[in-house]
Amino acid sequence: MPLIRSLIRVLFRRQDPMSRDIGQSGELLTARLRLVMIAVLAISPLKSLLVNPSTLVNWVGLAIAAGAVLVAALVLKLASRERPPRSLPLFTSQFDVFVVSLASVGFILAGNPIVATNSFVHWSYYLLAIGATCLRHDPRVTVVAVASAIVQHLAIAVSVGLTYPGLKSVEYGTFDWDTQAGKAIALLVMGLLALAIVARNRQVWETSVRDKLTGLHNRRFFDGILEFKCFESERDQRPFCLALIDVDHFKKINDTRGHDVGDLVLSQLGRFMAGQFRISDIPARWGGEEFAIVFPHTDLAEAAGRLEAFRKEVAHQTKPVAITVSIGLACYPRDADAPEALVIAADRRLFEAKRGGRNKLVAGT
């Protein structure tokens, strides 16, 4: 089914670094809100304990709230790092769900099992936990949180329903299996809604960073990737290469064959580039008839070999018209120590390739 295939693509599509940055900013926002919310909620059990210190349920509530505040503070500290752990969103989404379930267990141990199953206010925090996953920009986090919330809710409901048959309360009503099943369905619906929001947001993001004509990433995205790759290279102590590619005599194609043919040339070249290099390589439309490619964890000689093969393949193609390309290649940190300097180095070598007769690769020595 198209819907299922689309969902699978969304779930398993590889995230680019900029998408991860969006998710990390959402994780930081969630961490701040979580700490404030838990701190506010902790006031209630503290107040109840001061009024009636002999009641066990008040001590249970305060212990859970205190533990939750400590964990929330630790999570905020981790989320505030420049590069927080990648598994943090999965952990925190599970923590949000588990805190709600832990409170239910506390009610059961304190002798109030009907509160664990029939309190709508308490149960609605599952919905908040699921809704907050939208900020992580990762559908996998949403799926795991929804599954966990449903399983934990049903486990608590089954435990209470079998252990305390005929359970009822003046304030919270009577335990009912249909109501518990309805809550599980409501969690599933909320999860599907959150998943749709995440998928839609990712689709909008993909559209905003793609060049419409070629399907490659655009200049806006590429500038961000270049900064990230410089940071990554310094962190991992591994080089990467940047190539700038220019279609030779492209103005002549537009002037003699028309702009429609020129657009077709760029479109087909973009698709060819997308299929010619590794999945980890990042081709983009730099602007006009210029393209750029980042080769992560690649030295100058290796990148030059791939680009030379690419240049020859382009020269052999004749549809819609025969074209050639000139290429300038630079390596970080060998040729530059900053993104702007790397672009200048690659652009200088591109100019040398064009001045030297075009249809050439200049990679330095």
Summarize pLDDT for 145-171 with one digit per residue, the tens.
999 999 999 999 999 999 998 888 888
Average pLDDT over residues 280-294: 93
Residue 256's contacts (CB-CB under 8 Å, 6 or more residues apart) are none
Burial of 84: CB neighbours in 10 Å, binned 0-12, 13-18, 19+: middle
User: In the prediction, which pLDDT does 132 show?
Assistant: 92
Give residue-wise pLDDT tens across range 128-148. 999 999 988 888 899 999 999
Note the Cα 45 to chain centre separation in Å.
37
- 219-362 is classed in which CATH architecture? 2-Layer Sandwich (3.30)
Average pLDDT over residues 264-278: 91
Residue with tokens 């790759």, as numbered in its chain: 229
pLDDT at 331 exceeding the cut of 90: yes
Report the alpha-carbon distance of residue 103 to residue 114 in Å, rounded.
12
pLDDT at 325 exceeding the cut of 90: yes
pLDDT at 245 exceeding the cut of 70: yes
* Domain extent listing, the chain: 2-208, 219-362
Residue 100's contacts (CB-CB under 8 Å, 6 or more residues apart) are 122, 123, 125, 126, 129, 149, 152
Q: Among residues of the chain, what percentage have pLDDT more than 90?
A: 53
Instruction: Tell if the pTM clears 0.85, that is, is over it.
Output: no
